[in-house]
Amino acid sequence: MTLDTLLSHRLLVVTGKGGVGKSTTAAALALASARGGRRTALVEVEGRQAFASLFDTPPWDFEEREVRPGLFGVSVDAEDSLQEYLELFYGAKRLSRFVVGSTAVEFATTAAPGIKDVLLIGKVKEMERRREPDGRFTYDLIVLDAPPTGRVVAFLRAPEATLELVTMGPIRQQARSVVDMVTDHERTCAVPVTVLEDLPVTETLEGAAALRALGVALGPVVVNRVLPERVDAEARAALVEGLSPQAVADRAQRAGAALEPDGARLLLAQAEADRARLALQAELRERLHEHLDVPLLELPERYGTRFGPQELDTLARAIEERVA
């Protein structure tokens, strides 16, 4: 797996522990893909409406809408998927309005467990296989904002589980073709997102192992909010060897900053804490490299900027440069 082949898959499954920036990363990957001239779909399956504010659009729903040139956004839910499924395969328009209430979905969810997930990922598969009248695929790439690491394996495994429970019938065929899609390394690739902290890294390693055990190809790991290394070796040596608060204040004042030794002492303490975090960061990066033979795609901490459409553009461009 190299970075430059990432966007030539058909489906990217973006996952990660809560709070690491999974949805943002999925959006940036999709945007980078669309900007590279690929017709791209960005799919949300948990109804969290994470993308509407990122792209500054009205709430997303089951209809695929172009949110940027060549980028189509959709929020898929089990109820709509079931309705579409019934209509598509059974011409069941007449009963769907009655049947597809919450009870029916509750039924579907439990009648054959994992069906909700099967419906959701079944919809993704439908989009992945969909073709235009001229025979081309409708979408060159689908980016799925998948459930978090703790649940993604159950999510992707749902079709397998269904195969174990349902021994015949169209649901079985449907489940089979979904299993084929997610385990085809040419078509599907999982992209874990993490930050360089102990828990998320541990969860990423566990998740990566579980995804591989499931037969899913593992793509690059996106490492979010990486703290910058601010000093060169010489300057670091100066800091470590004990630049005095007085010296810091003097130099800062000469450069025009209002800094007294008391304040300088706080800055030095802050820098030491920052170095500790950088050291931990380096250790965790090493741990990822040690256990995973995939590249890391690092994205910087963004400090003061509030994340909005503009920052999304910047992030997408950063990804474009790496994976073009």
Residues within window 279-318 making contact with other proteins, judged by CB under 8 A: 280, 303-307
CB of 214 to other proteins, least distance (A): 17
Number of residues engaging other proteins in binding (CB under 8 A): 81
Assess 172 for contact with other proteins (CB under 8 A): yes
In 178-305, which ranges are E strands? 188-195, 221-226, 296-300
- Residue selected from 52, 163, 165, 226 as contacting other proteins according to rule CB under 8 A: 165
Smallest distance from other proteins to CB 211, Å: 18
Residue 87 or 184: the one with the smaller Cβ distance to other proteins is 87
Interaction of residue 270 with other proteins, rule CB under 8 A? yes
Sheet-wide strand order for 71-75: 65-68, 71-75, 40-44, 141-145, 11-16, 188-195, 221-226, 296-300
- Residue 193 and residue 165 in contact, taking contact as beta carbons nearer than 8 Å: no
What's the CA dihedral at 191, 192, 196, 199 to 10 degrees?
Answer: 180
Among residues 56, 260, 286, 321, the one that binds other proteins under rule CB under 8 A: 260
Residues 6+ apart with CB under 8 A from 284: 196, 197, 198, 201
φ, ψ (nearest 5 deg) of residue 131: -125, 155
Q: Least distance (Å) from other proteins to the CB of residue 217? A: 25
Task: Give the one residue of 57, 62, 65, 107 binding other proteins; rule: CB under 8 A.
Answer: 107
Choose, by CB under 8 A, the member of 88, 111, 213, 282 that binds other proteins.
111
Does 81 bind other proteins (CB under 8 A)? Our answer is no
Residues numbered 180-209 forming contacts with other proteins, rule: CB under 8 A: 197-200, 202
**Residue among 222, 214, 56 at smallest CA distance from 143:** 222
Task: Name which position in 13, 30, 41, 104 contacts other proteins (CB under 8 A).
Answer: 104
Phi, then psi, of 189 in degrees rounded to 5: -145, 130
Which of 251, 286, 289, 310 binds other proteins (CB under 8 A)? It is 251
x-marked contacts with other proteins along 118-147 as a string, rule CB under 8 A: ------------------------------
Of residues 23 through 62, those in contact with other proteins by CB under 8 A are 23, 46-48, 50, 53
From 59-67, 137-145, 259-267, 313-321, give the range in contact with other proteins by CB under 8 A: 259-267
**Binding residues for other proteins restricted to 210-229, rule: CB under 8 A:** none
Q: Are strands 65-68 and 71-75 parallel, antiparallel or unpaired?
A: antiparallel
Structure tokens given for 173: 């065929």
Contact predicate 96/86, CB 8 Å = yes
Instruction: Tell whether the torsion through CA atoms of 72, 76, 79 and 84 is positive or negative.
Output: positive
Is residue 112 near other proteins by the rule CB under 8 A?
yes
